[in-house]
Amino acid sequence: MNDTFEAFDDDDWRDRWLDLDKAWRDLQRLFTCPHPGPGEICLDLVRGNVTYPDGWQNGYLSHYDVLCPDQVANVARTISMIDKVDVLAMYVENGRVNDRLRDDVSYIGLFLERATKYVADRAEAGEGIVYRIG
């Protein structure tokens, strides 16, 4: 195994990073949909976008950002009020009512639950977060 990736399989590191896979874009929508409100505070956790300096076919550059401990605490308080019902409402509000609705709600809901636990743990520890999109 490549030494670079061994840390990600190590139990000591497993809770030290949050992988949102492709859910970050829908989480951005969730935290601002159907209208900005308290959930917008959570946008700090997924704010940003990948860029394609040489066109999308030539790869992308990730977005990196930092949340200070106070921001993490604010996100932790707010994200705990958002759940799968809000994910479902977001999709219905946007007219997404098809055969994939249940799978989409489950997928985004899973990553929302992971994010909620992750920021709660970091807030309890008084830590900030460095995050990457892409």
pLDDT in tens, 81-97: 999 999 999 999 888 87
What is the dihedral sign for C-alpha 43, 31, 37, 61? Answer: positive
pLDDT of residue 84: 93
Residue 118 placed within a domain = yes
- State the total domains in the chain: 1
What pLDDT, on a 0 to 100 scale, did the predictor assign at position 39? Answer: 66
CA distance between the termini of the chain = 23
Q: Is residue 120 part of a domain?
A: yes
Q: How many C-beta neighbours within 10 Å does residue 97 have?
A: 9
1: in domain: no
Could you report the per-residue pLDDT of 62-76, keeping only the tens digit for each? 888 899 999 999 999
Range of the domain at 124: 18-49+61-133
Distance CA 25, CA 108 (A): 10
pLDDT at position 52 is: 92
Q: Tell me: pLDDT of 30 over 70.
A: yes
Q: Does residue 9 fall inside a structural domain?
A: no
Answer whether 0.85 is exceeded by the pTM: no
Question: What pLDDT does 4 receive?
Answer: 47
* Residue 1 confidence (pLDDT): 41
How high is the mean pLDDT of the chain?
85
Q: Residue 91: CA atoms inside 13 Å, Cβ hemisphere, count?
A: 20
Q: Which pLDDT belongs to residue 116? A: 96
Q: Given CA atoms 117, 25, 67, 89 in this order, what sign does their dihedral have?
A: negative
- Whether 8 maps to a domain, the answer reads no
Lowest mean pLDDT segment, chosen from 30-39, 84-93, 99-108: 30-39
